[in-house]
Amino acid sequence: MNIVVIGYYGYQNVGDDTLLRQTIARIRLSFPHATIQVLVGPHRDPQVKGVEWVPRLGWSALVAVMEADWVVVGGGGIFQDRTSIRSLVAYVGVLAVATGRIELWGQGMSPLRWWGSRWLVRWCLGRASLIECRDEGSMATVRGLVTERGMGRVRLGADLAWGVPVP
């Protein structure tokens, strides 16, 4: 099985690096021998072992997503237009080429301010097999975007960082 993990990884953000580690650990529980590719920015997390790093910008990222059996968006506030519409468009654009299963884990869905953002995220959520929200506010945002029939794919989970062992 070929799995691609998408998120805001590779920018030396401790929170996002933690989300990546938890996402990889969760995948390995069910698929210990899967090939895992991570779309990453300029910095690779040295604590993450056994993955293939794919530059998130460029054709190689699109090819990896197109060829993946499973695409996991691993936590965080990916689907938002608060900081920039460009990042939202980029994530939706990458997911648009996915041909395999798409799952969204531990997502924090901010209220979307622009109608175009709502349209893009609604379309993206419609393609996902599983939408896991990390809090009730995110669930409310998703409820406003997904049809009643589509809510069967939505569940309340937790922020993936909660799985980190405390020293």
3-state secondary structure of 5: strand
Instruction: Give every CB contact of residue 104 below 8 A, 6+ residues apart in sequence.
Output: 72, 73, 125, 128, 130, 131, 132
Cα separation, 45 vs 69, whole angstroms: 24
| CA-closest candidate to residue 81, choices 120, 107, 124 | 120
Predicted local distance difference test score (pLDDT) of residue 162: 77
| pLDDT tens, position by position, 40-80 | 999 999 899 999 999 998 899 999 999 999 999 998 888 99
Decide: 20 and 38 in contact? Cβ < 8 Å: yes
| pLDDT tens, position by position, 11-47 | 998 889 999 999 999 999 999 999 999 999 999 998 9
Phi, psi of 114, rounded to the nearest 5 degrees: -100, 140
pTM metric for this prediction? 0.92
- Residues of the chain with pLDDT > 70: what percent? 98
